[in-house]
Amino acid sequence: MVKRIVQLIIFLGIGVFFIWFSIKDLKPQDVEIIRQSAQGIMNTRSLLFILSSMGCGALAHYFRALRNILLINPLGFRVRKTTAFYSVMICYLANLALPRLGEVLRCSFLQRYDQVPFQKSFGTVVAERAFDFIIFLILFVLILFINKGLFAELALSEQLGGWMKDKMELIWAAKFYVLFIAIALITSFVAYRFLIRKKHTSSHQNHKQSKMVALFKNILVGLWQGLISIKDLKKPYLFIVYTISIWVFYYLGTFLCMFAFDFLQSIGPMPPFVILVIGAISFMIAQGGLGAYPLFVAGILALYGIEYAQGLAAGWIGWCAQTLMILVVGLITFVLASFLKVENRAY
C-alpha cells in the first residue's frame, strides 16, 4: 500500500507540475480566451459532439473487453461479455485513483465472477499491452513520416529558439520539483521502514519468501500462457478487427471532440490523429494524463496555427470529457457488477 501511495504522489505531482507549466505564462487576455472557449461549448450542438466523443471512448473499451475474451478462451475459460466489459471499466476507474491498481482489480474481478485464475488473466492483460504498444509505435512512426514537412519547417523556423528557451526554463523549474519529489520519496521510505513495517521472526520471513517465490512463478507462467494464447486463437481475424476498432474509436472520440469548438471545425482529420498518438504519451507520464494531456494538445494544435490558449481550453475540455466518461461508466458498471452471478466458466 505504501508503494501505491508513493506512486500516486509521484504521478499526481508530475500532473500538477504540467498544470503549473502550462498556465505559468498565461496573460489576462489568454485567460479570457480560455473562458470564452469553455463557454462556447455550452450549446446543444457542441454538447452532442462531446457526448458522442465520450460514447466513442466507451465503445473502444467495449472492444477491448471483446479482445480480452479472445485471449482468455484458448486458456480453457469462458468469460461473459458483461463481465469482461465491467472488468475493463473498473480497471480504468481504479487507475484514476492509483497507478496500475486497475490491472490487479481487473484480473481479480474475472477470477471472482468467471473463475479465471489471476495469473492467467494477468498474462492476457500483459499481452494486450504489448500489442497496443506495438500499434502505438507504428502510428508514431507514421505521423512522423506524414508530417515530416511540417516538423522540418518548424525546425528551421525561429520558433525553435523559443522552444529551446522554454525547455531550459522547464529544466530549471524541474530542479526544485525533483527535489520535492525526492524528499517525499525519502520520507515515505523512512515511514515505511521504521514506522509501518513490523519486525518478523526469521521463520516467518522464510515462509513469506517461499510464498513470494511461488506467486512470482505463477505470474510468470500466466504471462507466458497469455502471450502464447495468441497463436491458439480460433478467430485471429477477430483479434485484428477488435484491435483496429479500439484505435478507430479512440480516434473518432478525439476527432468528434474537435467539432465542439468553433475554432477547430475546419482543422481537418490530421491534427486529431497526431493528438491521439502523441497524447497517449501524456497518460504514460502523468496520472490519468492530468495536466500533461491538455499541454500536449495545446502544443500540437499550435503547430497547425491554433492559438495556444484556445488549444489549452480544447485539451482540458477533451480530457475532462473522457475522464468523466470513465467515472460515470466505471461507477455504473461497479454498481451493476454487484448483481452479477458467480459462474464456473471453465470448459
Closest CA to 11 of 240, 232, 284: 284
Ramachandran angles phi, psi of 298, nearest 5°: -60, -40
The answer to whether residue 149 scores a pLDDT higher than 90 is no
Are 301 and 30 a contacting pair, CB within 8 Å? Answer: no
Closest CA to 302 of 276, 254, 263, 255: 263
Are 274 and 300 a contacting pair, CB within 8 Å? Answer: yes
Please give the Cα distance from 115 to 155 (Å, whole number).
Answer: 55
Give a yes or no: residue 195 inside a domain: no
Of 126 and 246, the one with more pLDDT? 246
Q: What does the pLDDT look like over 249-262, one tens digit per residue?
A: 999 999 999 999 99
pLDDT in the model for residue 247: 95
Please give the Cα distance from 288 to 11 (Å, whole number).
Answer: 9
Placement of cell 528551421 in the chain: 156
Host H or E run for residue 17: helix 2-23
Q: What does the pLDDT look like over 44-82, one tens digit per residue?
A: 999 999 999 999 999 999 999 999 999 898 888 889 999
Q: What does the pLDDT look like over 281-339, one tens digit per residue?
A: 888 888 888 888 998 999 889 888 898 899 999 999 999 999 999 999 999 999 999 88
Quick one: average pLDDT of 184-201? Answer: 51
Of the pLDDT bands very low, low, confident and very high (cuts 50, 70, 90), residue 202 is very low
The answer to whether residue 197 scores a pLDDT higher than 70 is no
Of the pLDDT bands very low, low, confident and very high (cuts 50, 70, 90), residue 174 is very low
Give a yes or no: residue 297 inside a domain: yes
pLDDT in the model for residue 74: 84
Give a yes or no: residue 187 inside a domain: no
Are 289 and 282 a contacting pair, CB within 8 Å? Answer: yes
Of the pLDDT bands very low, low, confident and very high (cuts 50, 70, 90), residue 175 is very low
Please give the Cα distance from 131 to 250 (Å, whole number).
Answer: 16
Please give the Cα distance from 5 to 10 (Å, whole number).
Answer: 9
The answer to whether residue 192 scores a pLDDT higher than 60 is no
Are 113 and 107 a contacting pair, CB within 8 Å? Answer: no
Of 9 and 246, the one with more pLDDT? 246
Please give the Cα distance from 249 to 22 (Å, whole number).
Answer: 28
Q: What is the DSSP string of 132-148?
A: HHHHHHHHHHHHHHHTH
- Mean pLDDT is lowest, of 45-54, 86-95, 155-164, 264-273, for 155-164
The C-alpha angle 213, 214, 217, rounded to 5 degrees, equals: 85
Please give the Cα distance from 52 to 54 (Å, whole number).
Answer: 5
pLDDT in the model for residue 275: 93
DSSP classification of residue 27 = -
Ranked by mean pLDDT, the top range of 72-81, 95-104, 207-216, 252-261 is: 252-261
Give a yes or no: residue 18 inside a domain: no
Give a yes or no: residue 261 inside a domain: yes
Give a yes or no: residue 193 inside a domain: no
Of 253 and 98, the one with more pLDDT? 253
The domain in which residue 163 lies consists of 26-173+210-337
pLDDT in the model for residue 58: 96
Are 104 and 328 a contacting pair, CB within 8 Å? Answer: no
Of the pLDDT bands very low, low, confident and very high (cuts 50, 70, 90), residue 220 is low
pLDDT in the model for residue 113: 92
The answer to whether residue 263 scores a pLDDT higher than 80 is yes
The answer to whether residue 233 scores a pLDDT higher than 70 is yes
* Packed helices 308-337 and 292-303: angle between N→C axes, nearest 10 degrees: 140
Closest CA to 76 of 232, 239, 236: 232
Please give the Cα distance from 42 to 102 (Å, whole number).
Answer: 33
Number of domains in the chain: 1
Quick one: average pLDDT of 109-136? Answer: 87
The answer to whether residue 150 scores a pLDDT higher than 70 is no
Q: What percent of the chain has pLDDT over 90?
A: 35
Of 231 and 271, the one with more pLDDT? 271
**Rounded to two decimals, what is the model's pTM?**
0.78
Of the pLDDT bands very low, low, confident and very high (cuts 50, 70, 90), residue 172 is very low
